Amino acid sequence: MSINTLLDSDLDKIPDFEVYAANLQSLKNIDFSQSSLLNIQKAYDQYATVIPSIFTTRTPEQFNQLYFYRVRMNIVDEDLNLFRTYSCPSPLICKNNGRANLKGKSVFYCSNNPFAAMIESKPQVGQTGYLSIWKAGTTRNIKVGLLLPNSLRPDNIWSDMAKGAYEYAINHSNADAKSKAKQFVLLHEFIAGLFVTEKYPYSITSMLADQLLFDKDTWKDCILYPSVASDKHYCNFAFHPNVVDQFLKFENVIPFVVKEVNNNSVVRYTAGQIGKVSNAGIFWDKNISPQDVDFRNLPFD
């Protein structure tokens, strides 16, 4: 794991621990729902000063073992035979902030678990969803921004990485954040917590995610954060669109109809075909067995 370079000029602006803790609480309590992005950034700079940036680097050998799952519900007036229909949405239809995107900015939301992707789509009985499956295929190292609280559920497969990020912050912040080490650890947990607790319009998290994915100094290929819809049982990824175009390969898509939902989780669904890659786009194969469309049989951790 690594921490982006912390400048002495930034560290000098961070106050003593007790004052800083109070500043972060004040930042959390501000209602930004009617604020401009510029004012949100100014408030963040005033109270938090720096952007936390603990990340891990995955080699091609490590990253290319992963599959990613993305769900879109009730697709209307789009060509279901095009791969791009299931990829990053057009910025023109990104009308609102998401937890990891600013309005008007497109990112690729997904999970390494198909059930997490379903839950995050907020399915309703009777809706038709499309679970697309993407295989990692990078030729270079991938930087993954870690926005994982130390309190992540122990049954979450990323809990060890969450603990590792927290321990790294503690063990290495003395060298990187120097006399402000305790404040840096506090900020890491504060921001990771916001990615769980902040409500729409996600004023702070959307701004931070945009910085982490698109800023030339703090950029990451993707960020990893807890899935709120699954009560932190799983985690979500948000990828920069260029990374998807270069290093994620569309494999197939499975349409499904939601039959029963319990606590936002699809507990029963039906599926009868698989969209597979063909020279003409997508070939819809209906000659399949129930096992072929049982999401429990898909490759995931």
The predicted structure's pLDDT at residue 39: 98
Q: How confident is the model at residue 169 (pLDDT cuts 50, 70, 90)?
A: confident
The predicted structure's pLDDT at residue 4: 65
**pLDDT digit string, tens, across residues 242-297:** 999 999 999 999 999 999 998 777 779 999 999 999 998 999 999 999 999 999 99
The predicted structure's pLDDT at residue 301: 65
The predicted structure's pLDDT at residue 177: 65
**Model confidence at 174: pLDDT above 80:** no
**pLDDT digit string, tens, across residues 3-36:** 666 667 777 889 999 999 999 999 999 999 999 9
For residue 255, CA distances in Å to 28, 127, 147, 157, 300 come to: 40, 10, 31, 27, 19
The predicted structure's pLDDT at residue 176: 64
The pTM is what?
Answer: 0.94
- Tell me what the pLDDT averaged over the chain comes to: 93
Q: How confident is the model at residue 175 (pLDDT cuts 50, 70, 90)?
A: low
The mean pLDDT value for 174-199 works out to: 87
The predicted structure's pLDDT at residue 181: 85
The predicted structure's pLDDT at residue 271: 95
**Model confidence at 173: pLDDT above 80:** no
**pLDDT digit string, tens, across residues 33-87:** 999 999 999 999 999 998 877 899 999 999 999 999 999 999 999 999 999 999 9
- Ranking 56-65, 171-180, 194-203 by mean pLDDT, the lowest is 171-180
